[in-house]
């Protein structure tokens, strides 16, 4: 699906959340032709190593990670947004581990590690050459949590957390067109 005027297409569930998201953004995780095979291979090695540490002895059913390459402003270069899809890092609901990686020689430096992520929006706002990110995770059929991250010069830090709920407070059978947005507790 291609959203007019906002950049990359979406290959995730939660389309309603993306369309209702406040502010301009670029949804990610469509197939990204900008990611070369050597880059993808190195990232998959990073994910496999993380799985070996997180789930030792587990026979991890590997599926290719979702990888998006984002060009950086200022210093140039790129960062990679990586959402795993393996049995070690993902829940049955589709929330998975997410990393922001920058290449450093034949390895990657981690700028952000987050869990429970189903999707990411790359915001148009830039801080120190890096775009702000909105991550979101699926909480239930009607609820999701959204976290905003901003680069501080060394890594991404969370600056905001809100919960979206599409279920009416007074009538649980009623589904709202627009979510009720409340700060995380």
Helix (H) or strand (E) holding 40: helix 37-54
Per the structure, how many domains does the chain have?
1
Residue 170 has pLDDT above 50, yes or no: yes
Q: What is the mean pLDDT of residues 138-153?
A: 95
Q: Using one digit for the tens of pLDDT, what is the confidence trace for 34-92? A: 898 888 888 888 888 888 888 887 665 666 788 999 999 876 789 999 998 888 888 88
Contact 146, 179 (CB under 8 A): no
Q: Would you tell me how many other CB atoms lie within 10 Å of the CB of residue 133? A: 28
Which residues 6+ apart lie within 8 Å of 177 measured at CB?
A: none
Containing structural domain, residue 170: 15-55+62-183
Task: Specify if 87 maps to a domain.
Answer: yes
Task: Specify if 7 maps to a domain.
Answer: no
What's the whole-model pTM score? 0.79
Give the least confident one: 49-63, 92-106, 151-165, 171-185: 49-63
């Amino acid at each position: 699906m291609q959203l007019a005027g906002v950049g990359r297409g979406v290959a995730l569930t939660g389309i309603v959340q993306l369309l209702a998201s406040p502010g301009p953004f670029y949804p990610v995780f469509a197939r990204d032709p900008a990611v070369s095979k050597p880059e993808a291979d190195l990232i998959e090695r990073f994910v496999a190593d993380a799985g070996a540490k997180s789930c030792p002895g587990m026979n991890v059913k590997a599926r290719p990670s979702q990888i998006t390459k984002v060009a950086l402003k200022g210093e140039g270069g790129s960062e990679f947004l990586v959402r795993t899809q393996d049995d070690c890092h993902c829940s049955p609901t589709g929330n998975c581990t997410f990393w922001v990686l920058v290449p450093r020689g034949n390895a990657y430096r981690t700028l952000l590690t987050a869990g429970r992520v189903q999707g990411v929006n790359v915001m148009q706002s830039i801080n120190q050459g890096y775009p702000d990110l909105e991550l979101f995770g699926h909480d239930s059929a009607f609820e999701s949590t959204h976290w905003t991250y901003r680069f501080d010069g060394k890594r991404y830090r969370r600056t905001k957390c809100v919960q979206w709920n599409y279920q009416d407070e007074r009538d649980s059978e009623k589904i709202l067109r627009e979510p009720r947005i409340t700060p995380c507790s």
